[in-house]
Amino acid sequence: MTTLCPPEDLPAWVPGRVLLASDGLGWQQVALRSYHYSGQDVIVPAMRDFMLVGYRTGATPMQRRFEGRWTRDHLGPGAASLLTRAQRAHWNWSAPIDVTHVYLSAAMVADVASEVMDCLVTDVRLDDVLRTDDPVMTAAMSAIATEAEHRAIGGPLYVETIARGLIIHLLRRYARIDSRKSARQSGLSPSQQRLIRDHIEANLAESLDLAGMAAQLGLTPCLFARQFRHSFGSPPYAFVMARRLARAQRLLVGTRIPIKEIASDCGFTDQAHLTRLFARDMGATPAAYRRSLN
């Protein structure tokens, strides 16, 4: 089996000076690296991730051999290249250029494709494109690069949001997709339902995010969310919140635990969070509900 090259190992094949990198920023399934390259004749190895190249400064004739065929073009600012994953290619250019690489994991691309197509996507192959003048792609890459440079609040979530929108655009214009429609026709099996219900009940005080719950069953988040809703009649987030409110109600009735502690024990961010949701569903604040029982 061919070993696929991760983004951080690419300089061993394509030497260049790193100008900017997302290393250590906590991004998940998305990465960015910007390079200054001199003219080169190189083999780009089979990459682990899908790779987008945006041309920042400099312009050069570029030729690339992919699946035995040479293609040629002139690349400079505003242009972009798209490399599908797991495909080796030969590249040659003569002038110095600064480029930005954005890497998208295969898992994230398949996850977004599954959600968009409402089926389990088993494989996505993006077209390998030497040059495209695609303002949507280049704007998204620029926004991701700006975040890597300035590192503002909520960076990982911001980058994931941009990346998911970018993937939808790529799927519309450049993708070939293998899918299994039958995978979403049914919900979770009885054993999966018991496992995830027990996991939720045992961890109500903790952060129960979609990815973590899906991982308990070995499913992608979007597939888990759809099968969960089919089985339980509500989205995972709504189900978890309902179980937290039910536990809070039991503790209000059967104990004298302070409401602030109940909020923490049931996984609410604070007492005000519990009060707001409890009043919305029960028609009374936790304190008024407890007083009404006396």
Cα–Cα dist 93/35, whole Å: 15
pLDDT (tens digit per residue) in 75-130: 999 999 999 899 999 999 999 999 999 999 998 898 888 777 766 677 788 998 99
Walk me through the domains of the chain, giving residue ranges and CATH numbers.
7-180 (2.60.120.280), 186-294 (1.10.10.60)
What is the chain's mean pLDDT, rounded?
91
Residue with tokens 């970018």: 166
Show the DSSP H helices in 118-258 as ranges.
135-150, 155-174, 190-202, 210-216, 221-232, 236-254
Cα–Cα dist 12/36, whole Å: 15
Q: What is the pLDDT of residue 185?
A: 52
How large is the C-alpha radius of gyration of the chain?
25
Task: At 119, give phi and psi (nearest 5°).
Answer: -160, 165
Q: What's this model's pTM, rounded to 2 decimal places?
A: 0.67
- The percent of the chain in helix, strand and coil, each rounded to the nearest 5, is 45, 25, 30
